Amino acid sequence: MKTLKNHKFVLAMQAMMLMAMVQGSVAQEDDKAYLQTANAIIDEALQRGKAYEMLRELSFEVGPRLSGSPQAAAAVEWGRETMIEHGLENVHLQEVMVPHWERGPIERAAVVNSSFVGTHELTVCALGGSIATPTLGVTAEVLEVQTMDELHQKASEAAGKIIFFNRPMDATKRNTFAAYGGAVNQRGSGAAEAAKVGAVAALVRSMTTALDDVPHTGGMHYEEGVPKIPSAAISTLDANFLSDLLKKGAPVSVNLQLSSRTLPDTPSANVVGEITGSELPDEVVLLGGHLDSWDKGHGAHDDGSGCVQSIEALRLLKALNLRPRRTIRAVLFMNEENGLRGGKGYAEHVEKNGPKHIVAIESDRGGFAPRGITVQAENQIVAKVARWSYLLEQIGADRIERGGGGADISPLVPQGTVTMGLMVESHRYFDYHHSANDTFDKVNERELTLGAATMAIIAYVLANEGL
Ligand SMILES: [Zn+2]
């Protein structure tokens, strides 16, 4: 009896081992097939890639595309036509209302009273959402602060002044996005905080680690019940100049002139196209970027790159006749920069009408060389995605780490969608970000193209295998 039991046990073990071997070899076969597919995607991207040409069109034929502007409307039409041209399926627009802020023709600032430099022009630009100054501008003495705490400590000196927020992005941080995150509250809420202590305007050091004469715009917001005061970004070179001048001890007054205005909300749209899944068409893996940009430069890195990569990823799969089990959808979101209306509207629409989005992957860190994928989820999910990192090893994009997804896809998180972001080499991103330097020529074709291939590979395997 004992022997028989042992014998049965051995047989059962042998059967289990055999099954494991069969499963293992199936997995190996799958791995080989996926590796071949990944190779084919990379070859197609490098040999016949269209992302760079799409970005050229978007940069030069459409141009900068601030929400609500005629160029943003042209960008929506460009996105729709480009998706159709490249064979995407179910191409459609999803309408959203967006804010409509205009910079206006006048934005200038000058030191007007210095005994050291006399009158001296400063390079500035209005922050997105700022009100205008009176026609002749606001003229007031400048008070420099590094932090909100310092502003509150100096509250008694702030009335009637222009508050100069001059805390640099911390270049000692390893991650440039962390450096940005550590400085950007000056831009977003500087004006409101300054107004609370009686200031008449805010000047904010540009959010960049570059030292140059180019101001970087970006969103700012007012607070209900707090006076609205004009707010502008100043170039890093002029921020240093102004700070040095203040250190000499004599009062420094600046005249600031802005002609920006906010118009009524405007109808606009997200642009959607897909490859319908062969077995589970009602489960979606989303690829996206945002179609709107600031009005300086071309918005080539931010985020023309993410848009063309999302379309190109689907084109690559189409070109290779790869139809995944689940649907892969490209979405060009409208209004990330100053309202996130596209991302919010999209998530609301999906919540009401479906289909279920299992994964959303955004590219919004610039069109630089891909390094991997950040996954905004538990380690267990990160490990499941990391299972596929070998497919991206050969192009150096195999880092799968816990990290942010993206602003436009973040409203999908409460529905259980796992969000991910294309991780890129981003040391230079903030040199260009939100400035006149964010032009087509700053994007490298190979880097942009390999980013699209990375998105195609990871989307394809997740659309087939799930999470
Ligand atoms: Zn962006």
What residues make up the domain containing 380? Answer: 39-101+264-465
Q: Which residue has the tokens 């001890």?
A: 249
Considering the domain architecture, whether residues 119 and 53 belong to the same structural domain is answered as no
Question: Does a structural domain hold residue 117?
Answer: yes
Measuring CA to CA, which residue among 108, 120, 435 is closest to residue 259? 108
β-strands 201-205, 118-122 pairing: unpaired
How far is ligand 1, taken at its centre, from the CA of residue 435, in Å? Answer: 12
Which of 259, 283, 316 is where one domain is finished?
Answer: 259
Question: pLDDT tens across 80-139, in order?
Answer: 999 999 999 999 999 999 999 999 999 999 999 877 777 899 999 999 999 999 999 999
Q: Residue 36: its pLDDT value, please?
A: 97
How far is ligand 1, taken at its centre, from the CA of residue 2, in Å? Answer: 70
What torsion do the CA atoms of 314, 319, 325, 328 make, to the nearest 10 degrees? 10
How far is ligand 1, taken at its centre, from the CA of residue 419, in Å? Answer: 16
Q: Which residue has the tokens 């978007």?
A: 58
Which of 228, 259, 290 is where one domain is finished?
Answer: 259
Question: Does a structural domain hold residue 273?
Answer: yes
Measuring CA to CA, which residue among 414, 408, 176, 395 is closest to residue 307? 408
What the block records as the tokens of 150 is 């310092």
Q: Could you list the active site residues? A: 336
Give this prediction's pTM.
Answer: 0.93
Give the whole-angstrom CA distance, residue 365 versus residue 452. Answer: 13
How far is ligand 1, taken at its centre, from the CA of residue 104, in Å? Answer: 22
Which of 193, 227, 259 is where one domain is finished?
Answer: 259
Measuring CA to CA, which residue among 122, 179, 134, 98 is closest to residue 426? 179
What the block records as the tokens of 149 is 């705490």
How far is ligand 1, taken at its centre, from the CA of residue 184, in Å? Answer: 14
What the block records as the tokens of 302 is 């931010």
How far is ligand 1, taken at its centre, from the CA of residue 387, in Å? Answer: 29
Number of domains in the chain: 2
Query: Averaged over 386-410, what is the pLDDT?
Result: 97
> Is the pLDDT score of 8 beyond 90?
no
Q: Residue 20: its pLDDT value, please?
A: 54
What torsion do the CA atoms of 383, 388, 392, 394 make, to the nearest 10 degrees? 110
Question: Does a structural domain hold residue 53?
Answer: yes
Considering the domain architecture, whether residues 70 and 118 belong to the same structural domain is answered as no
Question: pLDDT tens across 173-224, in order?
Answer: 999 999 999 999 999 999 999 999 999 999 999 999 999 999 999 999 999 9
What the block records as the tokens of 367 is 């069109």
Considering the domain architecture, whether residues 313 and 419 belong to the same structural domain is answered as yes
Find the CATH number of the domain harbouring 273.
3.40.630.10
Confidence band, pLDDT 50/70/90 cuts, at residue 2:
very low
How far is ligand 1, taken at its centre, from the CA of residue 26, in Å? Answer: 41
How far is ligand 1, taken at its centre, from the CA of residue 463, in Å? Answer: 25
β-strands 253-258, 261-275 pairing: unpaired
Backbone angles phi, psi at 364, to 5 degrees: -150, 45
